[in-house]
Amino acid sequence: MSSSSVGTGCPPGDCPSDSAGLDPDCCPGLVCSFGNRIQTGCRFGAQCYATGDHALWSTHQAICAIENPLKCPMFSSARGLCSEPGLACGYIDGAQCYCVDDGSGGGLWDCSSAPELGCPTIAPNVGTSCEKKGACHYGTCKSSSRFEFSCVKSRWTVKPGTECAAVCPLISPKIQEPCVNPNLVCRYGNDPRTLCRDRYDCKPFVFPFWLFDDPKCAPIPSGQCPASETTVSGPCAPAELICPYPNGAQCACVVGKSGPAWLCSGAPAVGCPTLAPTANQPCPASLNATVCTYGACVAKTFASLVCSGGGIWMPAGPSPC
């Protein structure tokens, strides 16, 4: 980061032609992007903001796969399987195709149409001059490349595509990869304590990107689990042992006034996943409006989610914990 005294260099003017020209005497509020990556979220972003009596440039560039046009399909009408997840392809009319990870190690083509009439065929850079009226859309939601560019006061501005549902990727994203739903929180893993699963946050910026947040939970101790949640009661050891069962039921060794004792919770509703899902993950249409409840507050395993009409797991209500 570089800094300057607030007040000089204002009002904001044009962004420089490249990131090397970022003037340390910046004006708070000035936002710029640089480069010509097809996937605009992979471009270098810079934002000047005020802190105390100084202004600072904050910069970031997401980590993305190398673009290789030689491996792209000839036309933007590509459909079906692809072999290199992360591959981004641009076409002469501004259409784009992306090989999106399907969660099993392979990929599926996801393509966008050309931007609106009068829009640049290549997405512009933020902060550069413009005359276009109306918005220009580029990229796709599934590839985390969907952005809307608008000409405001003769300068290009950008925001993530508002049509992109706030749903987590099927597999955990890579740190510093682009994302399109600022402040979206996604968790991955199989810990029965859902708040102890790996957490990824979509950090707001010129082009948002994923950050990892370690939940810092102690591991679940090992021990002998009861054969069934229906045949257990009384003292237990070790404390904080959690025992999940194939039907989604759980037993936990929780510490009470008389010492550690078994506390068991029943299976969730018919059709619910064995392992509690987490909010913002996709859910199947067959479970629409189904509420799935797991665990207990005292065991730190309580979770209650509903499969919303949009095909996304959402909290079923305020947590009682």
Cβ burial of 229 (10 Å; 0-12, 13-18, 19+) is buried
Q: What is the pLDDT of residue 219?
A: 96
Query: Long-range contact list for 20-23, CB < 8 A, 24+ apart?
Result: 22/46, 22/57, 22/59
Q: What is the 3-state secondary structure (H, E, C) of 80-142?
A: CEECCCCCEEECCCCCEEEEEECCCCCEEEEEECCCCCCCCCCCCCCCCECCCCCEEEECCCC
Predicted pLDDT at 66: 84
Q: For position 310, what pLDDT does the model report? A: 87
- Banded model confidence at residue 7, pLDDT cuts 50, 70, 90: very low
Which of 13-17, 86-90, 145-149, 195-199 has the weakest average pLDDT?
Answer: 13-17
Q: Which residue reads 């600022």 in tokens?
A: 182
**Mean pLDDT score across all residues of the chain:** 91
Judged against a pLDDT cut of 50, whether residue 15 lies above it is answered with yes
The predicted structure's pLDDT at residue 13: 61
Strands (E), the chain: 3-5, 31-34, 44-51, 54-60, 81-82, 88-90, 96-101, 107-112, 135-138, 147-152, 155-160, 185-188, 198-203, 209-213, 242-244, 250-256, 259-265, 291-294, 303-307, 313-315
Mean pLDDT of the 243-260 span: 94
21: pLDDT strictly greater than 70: yes
- Out of 17-21, 148-152, 223-227, least confident range: 17-21
Q: What pLDDT band is residue 103 in, cutting at 50, 70 and 90?
A: confident
Tell me the per-residue pLDDT of 284-299, one tens digit each, with 9 for 90 and over: 999 999 999 999 999 9
- pLDDT tens, position by position, 107-139: 999 999 999 999 999 999 999 999 988 899 999
pLDDT at 3: 40
Give the pLDDT score at 11. 56
CA 198 to chain centre: 13
**pLDDT more than 70, % of the chain:** 96
Write down the pLDDT at residue 10: 54
CA distance 278 to 187: 7
Residue 303: per-residue pLDDT: 97
Residue 105 has pLDDT above 90, yes or no: no
pLDDT above 70 for 4: no
Residue 9 has pLDDT above 70, yes or no: no
Is the pLDDT at 49 greater than 90? The verdict is no
- Residue 210 tokens read as 């994923």
> pTM of this prediction?
0.86
For residues 250-274, give the mean pLDDT.
95
Q: What is the pLDDT of residue 5?
A: 37
pLDDT of residue 215: 93
Asked if pLDDT for residue 24 goes beyond 70, the answer is yes
Is residue 191 over pLDDT 50? Answer: yes
The pLDDT assigned to 51 comes to 81
Asked if residue 242 has pLDDT above 90, the reply is yes
Residue 151's pLDDT is what?
Answer: 94
pLDDT of res. 1: 44
Q: Write the CB contacts of 144 (distance below 8 Å, at least 6 apart in sequence).
A: 41, 169, 177, 178, 179, 180
Say what the pLDDT of residue 22 is: 82
